[in-house]
Amino acid sequence: MHKKRKVLLYITLGIIWILVTDYIVAQLNSDLQLYILIQQIKGFIFVILSGCFIYYAFVKKEETQAVKAEKEKLEILINSMVDFVNFKDGQGRWTQANDFALKLFQIEHVDYVGKKDSELAEYSEFYREAFYYCEASDEDAWKMGKVSRCIEQIPSPDGTTKTFDTIKVPIFNKDGSRKELVVMGRNITDQVKVEKKLEKSRQNYKSLVEFNPGLVFILNRQGNVLELNPQFNAMTGYDSKDFLGKSIMPLIEKKSKREVIRAFNQILKEQTSWVNQEITVSHKDGSQRIFRCTAVPTMYNDEVFGAIGYAIDVTKEKETEERLRKTEKLSVVGELAASVAHEIRNPLTSIKGFIQFMKSNDNNNQSYYSIILDELERINQISSELLALGKPREVQFDKCDINQIFTSVMWLLESQANLYNVKIEYHRDNTLDRIECEPNQLKQLFINIIKNSIEADSKNVNIHVGDVMNKLQIIIHDDGNGIDEDRMERLGEPFYSSKEKGTGLGLAVSYRIIQAHRGSIHFDSKLNKGTTVTISLPTTHQ
């Protein structure tokens, strides 16, 4: 319909042009040659005007329609986006915005074209501050002169806040003047929430792993370490960095390795847990520690990728249990031994008296009487040891010099050491303070231990005393036969002895004395390389 109107207009104007121009030429009194020239010029002008009309009527219109079609496509595109899209001219006036932007700022009813943010602020009481902020932020983008990116917080009427990742693209004319500013913002509110939850999970993970009082470890399917928490350093003495990507099997003692390998394979194949199992681990200082471990499989999409677990050091706990076990055993055995000793001593006194009487009246069997009396004295000594295992009596502590105690011990053991050809060397320290103790019990303690060293085929016995962390430390070292691992576990048990005539009561009494003095005793021994006994005693008792 629009095209028909343009054609009718063209025909009308053409007829008017011909009639008017012919009339004007007819009024001119000129010769034929001039008349033809004017007609030709009139024709040329008509053709030119006709060409212009056709160009603007058809060609230009097609171009305009093409531009309009592209603009419609652009509007469809930006309106279908879930992002904020806004176009502004060089003066900050809005030229185009998508539906999301209009709805976000609640200005769907406003004719926004040609208005600045500060002007649009008057149409929205709630978003007034947000509009002013956007205008200031746009100015910063222009000054930067290149694509910029920032995180913007936009409040919502419901009390929540939306977070946008905003990109601003300033476009300049060739002369450097401002042409257009394109603003695009993506709503990343959910993403930010997820990241916050992820960060919270990381913090929880960090608290669980890094600040866990136990050792936390993560292993891959090959059994190599992926992660160790700082407790690894404290519990093993090694730097965790030295084991990342490596196996920790070298730290596990031989007797525990088979069980650890079996458990790890079971976790991978059967997806089962390994709960509260005890293993022996080598510390960097050479000692052995007992760890109680728990491990579970790490899984993703029902596939096992390795194991995660934790371990706690129960060495002291096991030592305490062992001391308690020995104490209970000593208590039971001690009560029994004391009652037996009392019953033995009564007839023993009578027998010894009659033997002595018979010896004084019979000169023919003196050697036999001497043997009987020696054995009776031995029975008496055993009875005394049995009595010492009974309920401990009230101990009266006095201030004593440890050097004087050892001087007495050395004097008492001198003859036995000479008999076995053993050299006892005591390293005296005159700087040590007096300690509160029961001197006779300590003498008995030191005599029992040094006698064991003498009878262990030693050639030298060295005794060192010193102050370590406000405690008196006594170290007795010999180069004798040593003690095998099986016997080490049973040291201090009453009636357990490897000696042919031993009763096993000497160390049992020694443990009782250590307990009464609230001290500790530790044996370190290797076969054919000697034994080291370390005794630690508090200097005061309250």
Is the separation of the CB atoms in 129 and 116 below 8 Å? no
Cα 381 from Cα 521, distance rounded (Å): 24
Nearest-CA neighbor of 185 among 225, 155, 154, 226? 154
pTM of the predicted model, to two decimals? 0.45
Which helix (H) or strand (E) segment holds residue 52: the answer is helix 32-54
Q: Are 534 and 524 in contact (CB under 8 A)?
A: yes
- Give pLDDT, residue 408: 85
The mean of the pLDDT values for the chain is 80
What letter does residue 297 receive in the DSSP assignment? E
Rounded to the nearest 10°, the torsion over CA 508, 509, 512, 513 is -140
Closest CA to 462 of 475, 445, 481, 443: 475
pLDDT in tens, 426-455: 988 888 888 888 888 888 889 888 988 988
Element (H, E) at 352: helix 315-361
Amino acid occupying residue 497: S
- At 108, the pLDDT band (50, 70, 90 cuts) reads confident
Predicted confidence band of residue 346 (pLDDT cuts 50, 70, 90): low
Residue 536 — very low, low, confident or very high, per pLDDT cuts 50/70/90? very high
User: Hey, what's the torsion of the CAs at 516, 519, 524, 530, to 10 degrees?
Assistant: -70
Mean pLDDT for the stretch of residues 102-118: 89
Least confident of 43-57, 267-281, 289-303, 377-391: 377-391
Residues 6+ apart with CB under 8 A from 525: 482, 483, 488, 531, 532
Closest CA to 491 of 502, 501, 500, 478: 502
Q: Where is pLDDT greater, at 80 or 531?
A: 531
Q: What is the pLDDT of residues 479-517, one digit of tens each?
A: 988 877 767 666 656 555 555 455 556 677 788 788 888
Report the sign of the C-alpha dihedral through residues 10, 11, 15, 18, in that order. Answer: positive
Q: pLDDT band for 461, please (50, 70, 90 cuts).
A: very high
Extended strands (E) in 126-160: 148-155
Q: How far is CA 407 from CA 411, 444, 479, 536, in A?
A: 6, 13, 22, 19
Listed in sequence order, the residues at least 6 apart from 389 whose beta carbon sits closer than 8 Å to its beta carbon are 330, 333, 334, 337, 338, 494, 505, 508, 509, 512
| Better-scored residue on pLDDT, 81 or 268 | 268
Say whether pLDDT at 30 is over 70: no
Pick the more confident residue, 247 or 319.
247
Output the CA–CA distances (angstroms, integers) from residue 142 to 83, 149, 180, 181, 268, in the order listed: 22, 12, 10, 8, 60
Q: Report whether 476 contacts 488 (CB < 8 A).
A: no
Long-range interactions of 341-349: CB distance < 8 A, separation 24+: 341/383, 341/384, 341/386, 341/387, 341/390, 342/387, 344/379, 344/383, 344/386, 345/380, 345/383, 348/376, 348/379, 348/380, 348/383
**What average pLDDT does range 116-122 have in this prediction?**
90
User: Euclidean distance between the first and final Cα of the chain, in Å?
Assistant: 118
